[in-house]
Chains A and B, each alone.
Chain A
């Protein structure tokens, strides 16, 4: 039976802890300068800046969580009600009080020695520019209100919650991606919409924000049953009901439509979005390549950037008129590419040979070392006559096919090249996964000794994974060099290896769609190791956010955003066997035991 709870029925300790945690998060974001820096970015005129969004979600989340009840199986959850709102509000109020105390502390004690951003700017931001007295009161009200809002989200029915969530989310996304939205409007030749939506000084106007929110609410409420998923299901049903000939004809139509979209996309995206798309594409290729080594063959390679560097330097050394080693003949990109591919495969085998006898952590550490060694070699005086040392190699010519030049500066043109590479590597990865080799990699990953006993040549299989991974990275590197026009050792740091790894882990190891999502979310939105993503403001805090995402994913969703079936089976396998054991435990008549 569900029970209504009295308004005071909560653990004081839990509420205080939740409030303190919220305060800690807000203070941290303020102290590292995120609040101050993001405050310059207006989202909704005279209502919301990116800075306050960066702290505002915290009381909402903690208010929601504190009021939520852990559901215990077999016991009906208590009826939601005013008690939950009170809990949320209290959590928010505690957070507000502690944050105000932090602002007051920063005012009276000089903390700038530790946190450089805790100066007057931060204090003013934390007190809404109203002075410590009235400002603290405002902060407490601000946090309490958001806490209550969070709790209210919990109290309302899921349908209402999803409508409100999607509406507010959409409005905020439209506000955050102002620059990109403007460019898209330009691409679609409806620039007028942008001038209606956004105020000339930046940010949505209050009216347009309200209008967008209302519009989304209306769509959610009246558009029920016509959502994209419903449409997709209907199309799929229609597709399966067709005869094979019709399907074949349709696949031609789909192919032609896809090609048309491919031609049009960069024109709509415009220059800067195309640039982002190119970066995403290159990292997607690198992610797919690394996935063959890590996801399919199960070898944790932390020095993957080495092969990217080999591809980029290979092309630079062979095609640049300013190549340091003039005795090397200057070649055209398309002549140089096969050479680079062969060299990369060779380097992959060369690095692979000594390390494949190792497993797990040891393999990771040794590959990490190799990655560093290669970067240091490109930087060294020893190799300087060939690769140019710290000055690198400049004036790498861009790619051209016949009369068509894919100039690096013209990101719309480069997009066409990268898209082809992405498609090619995608198809290759997909086919490998279900091939004989792919099967041997899967067996290898599961039980190397047994795989060997089955006759799988483990050395060849592993070296093949290394070589294929190396070639794919080198292809991305070659395109990178031709696009950027120069290569420097500093472009091939350890960080690049790690970012690629994070992309495939967050997306879902072994899942091709997952890696695509990972690349879009991390590289496209947050930005790559050097280039900014769509959220330009996050530039300085990119790695911090990467870290937070990675930790969160490892704790809550280790199989990634869009996991592969096999991989999530592996991660949840222990639970599975435990359950199997439990199922059997009460069932001795079976006379069969289950081994873990």
Chain B
């Protein structure tokens, strides 16, 4: 693992094990994410990627090991408390509240805040001017790309320290995938730490700083994005190149 930052990591997994009943899902997972980084977690189906995100959000409690946010142990806390401490997620397939308006969706993103939302809304409109045009529209009637903007906006409304992205390229046309990764990059450049789970390794590594590869619940590779892209083992298994 190449250590680029020396300060306290924003998010850290320390030897986390997770079980669903008798089945072990995560096996001694160690992940470190520094502030401002964009890190991706790669892996095939059923490798434990989504469980990793659920563990961060407290929807799954690790059987051993701990998850730390800003040096504070958050594993074992309720989802509400974890979200309050600065984690938010853009779920797989966006999953907007389809029958509510765009504005209502954004407001629910800020559910745990009771202060003024104008500034945050402005920030989101600045990032995604199209969202502003659609505020009164039902979220379900938006196009896929616009939905992704609202989903990211909704997650940003809680002013997260870490933004989790679950399969941002899932179910999107290739042009949209590119647009989507552009959105993520902009969010990251604007200062939010991004932890992204993705099957599309090529795409993810092209914008991420670092990457982890998860295989049946174990981290098998961890390196900078460039090194991973160049790694022959990686290329064979995930990047669809055989040499």
- B100: chain A residues at CB < 8 Å are 442-443, 446, 566
Which among A570, A590, A593 has the greatest number of chain B C-beta atoms within 10 A? A593
A577 x B80 contact (CB < 8 A): no
Cβ of A391 within 8 Å of any chain B Cβ, yes or no, is no
Residues A436 and B111 in contact in the complex (CB < 8 Å), given A569-B138, A594-B144: yes
Say whether A367 faces chain B, with CB atoms less than 8 Å apart: no
A443 with B108, Cβ < 8 A, contacts A452-B79, A453-B79, A453-B89 known: yes
For chain B, the bracket of interface size reads 35 or more
The residues in A between 540 and 596 inclusive whose CB is less than 8 angstroms from any CB of B are 566, 569-570, 573, 576-577, 580, 584, 590-595
Within 8 Å CB of A447, what residues of B? Answer: 95, 97
A440 partner residues in chain B, CB cutoff 8 A: 108, 111
Contact with A451, one of B108, B138, B143 (Cβ below 8 angstroms)? B108
Within 8 A of B (CB), among A429-469: 436, 439-440, 442-443, 446-447, 449-457
Please name 8 further chain A to chain B contacts, defined as beta carbons within 8 Å, in addition to the given A443-B100, A595-B93, A595-B171, sorted by A numbering: A442-B97, A443-B111, A450-B97, A455-B79, A457-B79, A457-B80, A573-B98, A591-B176
Q: Complex Cα distance A440/B112, Å?
A: 10
Counting from the closest, the 8 A-B pairs by CB-CB distance are A455-B83, A592-B143, A455-B112, A446-B97, A457-B80, A569-B99, A591-B175, A450-B95
Number of residues from A at the complex interface, CB < 8 A: 30
Task: Report whether A457 and B78 are in contact in the complex, using a CB–CB cutoff of 8 Å.
Answer: yes
CA distance A591 to B178 in the complex (A): 12
Complexed CA–CA distance, A584 and B173 (Å):
14
Q: Known: A440-B111, A446-B98, A593-B176. Contact between A584 and B143, CB under 8 A?
A: yes
**Complex CA distance for A569 and B137, rounded to whole angstroms:** 12
Whether A576 lies near B107 (C-beta < 8 A) is no
Of the candidates B59, B78, B95, B173, which one forms a contact with A593 in the assembled complex, judged by CB atoms under 8 Å apart? B173
Q: List 22 A-B contacts (CB under 8 A).
A: A440-B108, A442-B100, A443-B97, A443-B100, A446-B99, A446-B100, A453-B89, A454-B109, A454-B154, A454-B158, A456-B108, A457-B79, A569-B99, A569-B138, A576-B138, A577-B140, A591-B173, A592-B144, A592-B145, A592-B176, A594-B144, A595-B93
User: With a CB–CB cut-off of 8 A, which chain B residues contact A452?
Assistant: 59, 79
Return B146 CB to nearest CB of chain A, in Å. Answer: 8
Known: A595-B147, A595-B171. A576 touches B140 (CB 8 A): yes
B1 in the interface (beta carbon within 8 A): no
Q: Give every chain B residue within 8 A of A592 (Cβ-Cβ).
A: 143-146, 173, 175-176
Asked if B99 contacts A594 (CB within 8 A), the reply is no
CB of B91 within 8 A of chain A?
yes
| Distance, CA A584 to CA B147, complexed state (A) | 15
Minimum CB–CB distance from B110 to chain A (whole Å) comes to 9
Q: CA A455 – CA B57 in complex, angstroms? A: 9
Partner of B104, one of A439, A449, A584: A439
Complex: how many Å from CA A443 to CA B143? 21
- Interface residue B24 (Cβ < 8 Å from any Cβ of A): no
B209 contacts the other chain (CB 8 A): no
Residues of chain A lying within 8 A (CB to CB) of residue B94: 595
Q: Does B84 contact A (CB under 8 A)?
A: yes
Interface centre among B84, B112, B140, B146 (most CB of A within 10 A): B140
Chain A facing B: main interface SS: helix
For the complex, give the distance between the alpha carbons of A566 and B100 in Å: 8
For the complex, give the distance between the alpha carbons of A449 and B146 in Å: 22
Q: Which residue of B lies closest to A568 (CB)?
A: B99
**Structural contact, A566 and B99, CB atoms closer than 8 A:** yes
Bound form: Cα–Cα A451–B89 in Å:
11
User: What is the interface of chain B, defined by CB distance below 8 A to chain A?
Assistant: 57, 59, 78-80, 83-84, 88-89, 91, 93-95, 97-100, 104, 107-109, 111-112, 138, 140-141, 143-147, 154, 158, 171-173, 175-176
CA gap between A449 and B59 in the complex, in Å = 9
Q: By the criterion CB–CB under 8 Å, are A454 and B83 in contact?
A: yes
- How long is the Cα–Cα vector from A577 to B138 in the complex, in angstroms? 11
Please, how many angstroms separate the alpha-carbon atoms of A595 and B91 in the complex?
14
By the criterion CB–CB under 8 Å, are B99 and A570 in contact?
Answer: yes
Cβ of A446 to closest chain B Cβ, rounded Å: 4
Known contacts A453-B89, A454-B83, A455-B158; A573/B140 CB under 8 A: yes
Residues of A within 8 A of B111 (CB): 436, 439-440, 443, 454-456
A591: nearest chain-B partner, CB-CB? B175
A443 to B144, CA, bound (A): 20
Question: What chain A residues lie within 8 Å of B83 (beta carbons)?
Answer: 453-455
Chain A residues positioned under 8 Å from B154 (CB to CB): 454
> In chain A between 391 and 447, which residues have their CB closer than 8 angstroms to a CB of chain B?
436, 439-440, 442-443, 446-447
Query: In the complex, A447→B91 CA distance in Å?
Result: 11
Specify which chain B residues have a CB less than 8 angstroms from the CB of A570 in the assembled complex: 99
Q: Are B173 and A439 in contact (CB under 8 A)?
A: no
Q: Are A456 and B80 in contact (CB under 8 A)?
A: yes
Residues of B within 8 A of A577 (CB): 98, 140-141
Partner of A580, one of B141, B175, B176: B141
> What residues of chain A lie closer than 8 Å to B107, measured between beta carbons?
439
What residues of B have a CB within 8 angstroms of the CB of A569 in the complex? 99, 138
Name the distance in Å between A525's Cβ and chain B's nearest Cβ: 32
Residues of the A chain whose Cβ atoms lie less than 8 Å from the Cβ of B176 = 591-593
Given contacts A453-B91, A456-B80, contact A439 B99 (CB under 8 A): no
Nearest CB on B from A392, distance (A): 44
Q: Contact partner of B108 among A454, A566, A573, CB < 8 A?
A: A454
Cβ-closest chain B residue relative to A592: B143
Residue of B nearest to A457 (CB): B80
**Alpha-carbon distance between A566 and B171 when the two chains are bound, in angstroms:** 27
* Closest B residue to A443 using CB positions: B108
In the bound complex, how far is the Cα of B80 from the Cα of A440, in angstroms? 13
- CB-CB < 8 A to A451: which residues of B? 108
Question: Chain B CB within 10 Å — which of A443, A449, A570, A576 has the most?
Answer: A443
Instruction: Please give the distance in Å from A119's CB to the nearest CB on chain B.
Output: 55
Contacts of B79 in A (CB 8 A): 452-453, 455, 457
**CA distance in complex: A449, B53 (Å):** 13
From the candidates A436, A453, A590, A591, name the one contacting B57 in the complex (CB within 8 A). A453
* Cα A6 to Cα B178 with chains together (Å): 63
Instruction: Please determine whether A594 and B143 come into contact, CB atoms closer than 8 angstroms.
Output: yes
Find chain B residues with CB under 8 A from A591 CB: 173, 175-176
Q: How close is A158's CB to chain B, nearest CB, in angstroms? A: 33
Which of chain B's residues have a CB closer than 8 A to the CB of A442?
Answer: 97, 100, 104
- Closest chain A residue to B175, Cβ basis: A591
> Chain B CB within 10 Å — which of A440, A566, A570, A592 has the most?
A592
- Taking CB as reference atom, which chain A residue is nearest B82? A455
Chain A residues with Cβ under 8 A from B99's Cβ? Answer: 446, 566, 569-570, 573
Digit string of A50-90 for contact with B (CB within 8 Å is 1, else 0)?
A: 00000000000000000000000000000000000000000
A457 to B83, CA, bound (A): 11
Bound CA span A454–B99, Å: 17
Closest approach, in angstroms, between the C-beta of B153 and any C-beta of chain A? 12
Task: Tell me the complex Cα distance, A187–B148, Å.
Answer: 63
Question: B91: which A residues are within 8 A, CB to CB?
Answer: 449-450, 453
